[in-house]
Amino acid sequence: MSLKFRCERDTLVEALGTAGRAVTTRGGALPVLAGVRMELAGDRLTVTGSDLDLTIIVEVEVAGGEDGVAVLPSKLISDVARSLRPGAVDLSIEDDDVRVVQAPSEFSIRVIPADEFPELSSAAGDAVTLDATAFRAAIDQVEKAASSDDARPILTGVLMAAEEEGLRLVSTDSYRLSVRDLKGTSILGEGQKVLVPSRALKELSRAVGEADEITLRLGERDAGFEVGAVTIITRLIEGDFPNYRGLIPSNHPNSLTVSREALLDAVRRVRLLAQESTPVRLAMSADGLELVAVTQDVGQAHESVEANYTGDDLTVAFNPEYLIDGIEVAPGDEITLETVDELKPALLKSAEDPAFLYLLMPVRVS
């Protein structure tokens, strides 16, 4: 077993941090999956982290000394690298230890047997190029509405479906639903759809950085995304996504139009008094909008916001976190909130961009 190279601390920290986000934290998993795999060939260092569902591979340029492979405890090697000062770091394997040297500091870390690291699949399929800025914006608009509850795996995914005019991304955790259309983006065949884990898309969004394009490969069971020096491979979720179209009301008699920033700031302030899962109430009338939060034995908050409203006077209550998530990602300067009554789903849309919508279930209040 051999491996020897020199690189900048920041290069090492970033590569270990990015690949390490795929490393398993689950108890009962293979111990080797708590490690990152480093492979050196010439001056190219490839760092891989995986929990078998998600794999992140980072390639960086280093000053190579001896080619080889090593698996190191992910958290420990990341913590060590971060603790060093900026500048060059030497890393080499001696016996069953890896030495990390940056004078006057020196660390010796026991390696994990590299042959225990599983063979990882790579997504086959034709390469399709996506505009990185547009795709990242779309991910950011839908991933928050996906569930984080592994007991309902279907809802932890983002549906990517071929539509007549391009690609549609949809997510829901059964309390809210987010839909984003990317017109002119065709990566799927007619009628085709896949369910991509939201966790993988979140990591893709983080990896985009300054990149202009993302390369996507879709296999039978996997999807691979390449952006800059990072490759993310994820297992697709099997199963049928809920029929979300039936959830979107076709007719909303009430419509509120309001400045996105003004509403966002007001909800954030009022939310401070919406404690212990208390909702924020939106009282809508011809006079505009009033936000109210009342928490028993704590206090209350009221704020008026200028808005245009058509329809019957109505007060609707929402989970403030879910409401903020939708307002934050809505494009444009103005948003519209369309409602039927205090119990039916409300529709939050951009006044300027019909390609995005966010459906939110109200909270029943006495």
pLDDT in tens, 241-297: 999 988 888 888 999 999 999 999 999 999 999 988 899 999 999 999 999 999 988
- Work out the end-to-end distance of the chain between its first and last CA atoms, rounded to an integer number of angstroms: 68
When the pLDDT of each residue in the chain is averaged and rounded to a whole number, the result is 92
Query: What are the distances in angstroms from CA 365 to CA 97, 274, 293, 316, 358?
Result: 61, 13, 12, 9, 22
Joined together, the tokens standing for residue 363 give 């909270």
User: 42 is written with which tokens?
Assistant: 């010439």
CATH number of 248-360: 3.10.150.10
pLDDT at residue 28 tops 70 = no
Distance (Å) of CA 176 to CA 143, 161, 210, 359? 11, 19, 31, 5
**Tokens in use for 366?**
């006495």
The number of residues making up the chain comes to 366
Q: What homologous superfamily is domain 4-116 in, according to CATH?
A: DNA Polymerase III, subunit A, domain 2 (3.10.150.10)
The mean pLDDT of 199-228, rounded to a whole number, is 92
The per-residue pLDDT for 123 is 75
Reduced to 3 states (helix: H, G, I; strand: E, B; else coil), residue 61 is strand
Range 57-65 average pLDDT: 96
Question: Do 248-360 and 127-245 fall under one CATH topology?
Answer: yes
pLDDT of residue 27: 64
Residue 146 has pLDDT above 90, yes or no: yes
Would you state the pLDDT for residue 189? 73
Joined tokens for residue 304: 């008026």
| Domain range list for the chain | 4-116, 127-245, 248-360
262 phi/psi in degrees, rounded to 5:
-65, -45
pLDDT tens sequence across 345-358: 999 999 889 999 99
Q: What pLDDT is recorded for position 291?
A: 97
CATH number of 127-245: 3.10.150.10
Q: Helix 74-83 vs helix 9-20: angle between axes, to the nearest 10 degrees?
A: 150
Q: Which two tokens stand for residue 63?
A: 């000053």
pLDDT digits 0-9 by tens, 165-185: 788 999 999 999 999 998 887
The label of the residue with tokens 């960086």 reads: 60
CB 196 within 8 A of CB 158: yes
The SS3 assignment for 347 reads strand
Q: Both tokens of residue 271?
A: 């939310």
This prediction has a pTM of: 0.90
In this structure, what DSSP letter does residue 152 have? S
DSSP state of 286: T
Residue 85 banded pLDDT, cuts 50, 70, 90? very high
The yes-or-no verdict on residue 204 having pLDDT over 80 is yes
* Poorest-pLDDT segment among 162-166, 234-238, 296-300, 304-308: 162-166
Q: By the 8 A CB rule, do 51 and 35 touch?
A: no
Instruction: Tell me the Ramachandran region of residue 299: left when phi exceeds 0, alpha when psi lies from -120 to 50, beta otherwise.
Output: left
Helix locations, the chain, DSSP H: 9-20, 74-83, 132-142, 198-208, 260-271, 320-329
pLDDT tops 90 at residue 25: no
Residue 321 has pLDDT above 90, yes or no: yes
Read off the DSSP letter of residue 246: G
* CB neighbours of residue 283 within 10 Å: 17
Report which of residues 184 and 158 the model is more confident about. Answer: 158
